[in-house]
């Protein structure tokens, strides 16, 4: 155990701060503190330019191996980057599906040719990815996917038919990875393939889903004879399930430490409102705010204790359950702190942020494995209780 920051780590912190101060300005000023798509001031084209600026500064692929163009930084420095990034007002990241989900899966399961083709675009902030997993009939039961993929014998291309849903940011993405059934008549986990499919083609139709916040970050994606090259599959055709699960492991894993810097900023917004409107003097709200502050510290301690864990399935499910329920409770606290004012849609940016947090955080315990799925995973994998 060791929580002392080394001299090198302190220097790295200062380096991030200096770079952010020098670059998050001018054209990028409107992105400052914007949490992501749907939040005021977050213009997608500008956000992509910001990603490219980050890449040029060497702030993408921090944990990637050097052979793939990454910086291979230790976890502590990755955490420091995320902390300082948020502290300096860095906006929500647009490229994280590519950078933190697809890229590690490409490194583990992709051919050198696929790695060489796709990793540089992700690293440079040039190529954006969407995730094609869930379907109307396959949510928590992901193995029920029905989207079909077959090889066109004339062209050797994959031809895809079916529908995906809850696809984040598909309208701002260039490519989508699609879990599809490549062996007709196969059931459940067998006979699946994970394909890399260009989104901008005539066989793909996007339909935005208006969500609980009123925004439309999610899409339905319809594949109607959509095509991709024959070589663009991750892992062997028929073995897609294992690859898809590897990718989900990335989602539940290391990325949570970076999130916590955002969570802290959100908690500070709640505190700011409580001080402003007098909720800070309410004895019960005081207890809840304190509880949230302690809980956030515990998320951090938990991540630092388990990030090098040799039982990642156990740690990852616990971590996901912890942070998502913490943040959902923070959303509830946020509107309770607002009080009656919380019902009034308004121009005040702080109030808007808390209202948005309240609604957005309802998704946290549903996506990336719902609370109920996480509890099943913990019971069956960590506690070895019977299925």
Partner 1 sequence: MDLSLSEEQQQITDSAATFLAEAAAMPAVRAASESAEGLDRALWRAMAELGWCGVHLPESAGGLGLGLVELVLLQEQLGRRLACVPFFDSVALAATALRGLPDSPLAQDWLERLAAGQAIGALTLPAEHGGAACADGLPSAVAAPEGGWTLQGGWPQVGSAAMADVLLLPAQAASGETLLLAVPADAPGLRVRPLATLDATRRMAAVRADGVNLPAASCIGRGPSLDALFTQVRQLGAIALAGEQVGVAQQCLDLTLTYAAQRSQFDRPIAGFQAVKHRCAQMLVALESARSAVYGAACIADTAPDAATLLFHAAQARVAATEAAQFCAREAIQLHGGVGFTWEFDPHLYFRRAQASSQRLGASPWWLEQVAAQWLDTPEENP
Question: Which residue is listed with tokens 């040029």?
Answer: 56
Which pair of structure tokens corresponds to residue 251?
Answer: 């989602």
Distance CA 33, CA 39 (A): 10
Q: Would you say 293 or 359 has its CB closer to partner 1?
A: 293
Give the residues across from 177 on adjacent strands.
Answer: 131, 196
Q: Which is nearer to partner 1, 242 or 382 (CB)?
A: 382
- Which of 200/387 has CB closer to partner 1? 387
In this complex, which beta carbon is closest to partner 1, that of residue 43 or of residue 72?
A: 72
CB atoms within 10 A of CB 288: 19
How far CA 41 is from CA of 45, 128, 233, 271, in Å, comes to 11, 20, 37, 23
Cα–Cα nearest to 92, from 243, 1, 215, 247: 215
- Angle formed by the axes of helices 240-252 and 312-338, nearest 10°: 50
Cα separation, 51 vs 32, in Å, equals 13
The footprint of partner 1 (CB under 8 A) covers: 1-5, 9, 75-76, 79, 268-269, 271-276, 280, 286-287, 289-291, 293-294, 297-298, 300-302, 304-309, 318, 321-322, 350, 372, 374-376, 378-380, 382-383, 385-387
Spatial distance between the Cα atoms of 298 and 375, rounded to a whole number of angstroms: 19
Note if 251 is an active site residue.
yes
- If the CB atoms of residues 247 and 335 are measured against partner 1, the closer one turns out to be 335
Query: Smallest distance from the beta carbon of 376 to partner 1, in angstroms?
Result: 7
- Which residues, including other chains, have CB under 8 Å from residue 236's CB and lie 6 or more apart? none
Minimum CB separation of residue 264 from partner 1 in Å reads 12
Q: Measured from the CB of residue 386, what is the shortest distance to partner 1 in angstroms?
A: 4
Task: Specify the residue, 216 or 280, whose C-beta has the smaller distance to partner 1.
Answer: 280
Among the listed residues 251, 266, 341, 372, the single catalytic one is 251
CA dist list (Å): 152 to 122, 155, 159? 29, 6, 6
- Pick the closer one to partner 1 by CB: 113 or 294: 294
CB of 65 to partner 1, least distance (A): 21
User: In whole angstroms, how close is the CB of 324 to partner 1 at the nearest point?
Assistant: 11
Distance CA 246, CA 100 (A): 12
**Which candidate, 98, 142, 99, places its Cα nearest to that of 369?**
142
Q: Could you please report the per-residue DSSP string of 291-348? A: HHHHHHHHHHHHHHHHTT-S-HHHHHHHHHHHHHHHHHHHHHHHHHHHGGGGGS--S-
Minimum separation from the CB atom of position 35 to partner 1 (A): 15
Minimum distance, C-beta of residue 96 to partner 1, in the bound complex (Å): 22
Query: What are the structure tokens assigned to 247, written together?
Result: 């990718």
Give 97's DSSP letter.
Answer: I
User: Which are the catalytic amino acids?
Assistant: 251
């Amino acid at each position: 155990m060791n929580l002392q920051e080394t001299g090198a780590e302190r220097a790295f912190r200062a380096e991030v701060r200096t770079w952010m101060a020098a670059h998050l300005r001018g054209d990028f000023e409107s992105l400052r503190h914007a949490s992501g798509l749907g939040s005021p001031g977050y213009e997608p084209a500008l956000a992509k330019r910001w990603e490219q600026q980050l890449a040029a500064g060497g702030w993408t692929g921090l944990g990637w191996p050097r052979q793939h163009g990454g910086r291979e930084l230790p976890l502590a420095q990755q955490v420091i980057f995320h902390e300082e990034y948020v502290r300096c007002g860095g906006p929500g990241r647009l490229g994280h599906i590519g950078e933190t989900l697809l890229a590690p899966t490409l490194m583990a399961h992709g051919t050198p040719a696929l790695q060489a083709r796709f990793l540089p675009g992700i690293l440079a902030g040039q190529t954006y990815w969407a995730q094609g997993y869930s379907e109307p009939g396959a949510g928590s039961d992901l193995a029920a996917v029905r989207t079909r993929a077959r090889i066109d014998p004339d062209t050797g291309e994959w031809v895809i038919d079916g529908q995906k849903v809850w696809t984040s940011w598909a309208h701002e993405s260039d490519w989508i990875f699609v879990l599809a059934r490549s062996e007709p008549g196969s059931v459940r986990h067998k006979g699946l393939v994970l394909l890399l499919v260009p989104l901008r083609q005539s066989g793909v139709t996007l339909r935005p889903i208006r969500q609980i916040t009123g925004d439309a970050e999610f899409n339905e994606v319809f594949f109607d004879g959509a095509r991709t090259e024959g070589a663009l599959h991750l892992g062997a055709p028929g073995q897609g399930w294992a690859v898809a699960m590897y990718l989900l492991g990335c989602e539940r894993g290391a990325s949570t430490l970076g999130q916590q810097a955002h969570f802290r900023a959100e908690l500070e917004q709640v505190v700011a409102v409580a001080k402003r409107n007098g909720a800070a003097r309410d004895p019960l709200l005081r207890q809840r705010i304190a509880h949230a502050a302690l809980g956030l510290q515990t998320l951090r301690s938990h991540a630092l204790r388990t990030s090098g864990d040799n039982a990642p399935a156990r740690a990852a499910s616990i971590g996901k359950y912890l942070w998502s329920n913490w943040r959902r409770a923070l959303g509830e606290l946020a509107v309770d702190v607002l009080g009656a004012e919380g019902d009034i849609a308004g121009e005040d940016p702080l109030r808007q942020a808390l209202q948005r947090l309240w609604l957005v955080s309802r998704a946290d315990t549903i996506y990336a494995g719902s609370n109920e799925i996480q509890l099943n995973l913990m019971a069956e994998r960590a506690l070895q209780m019977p299925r």
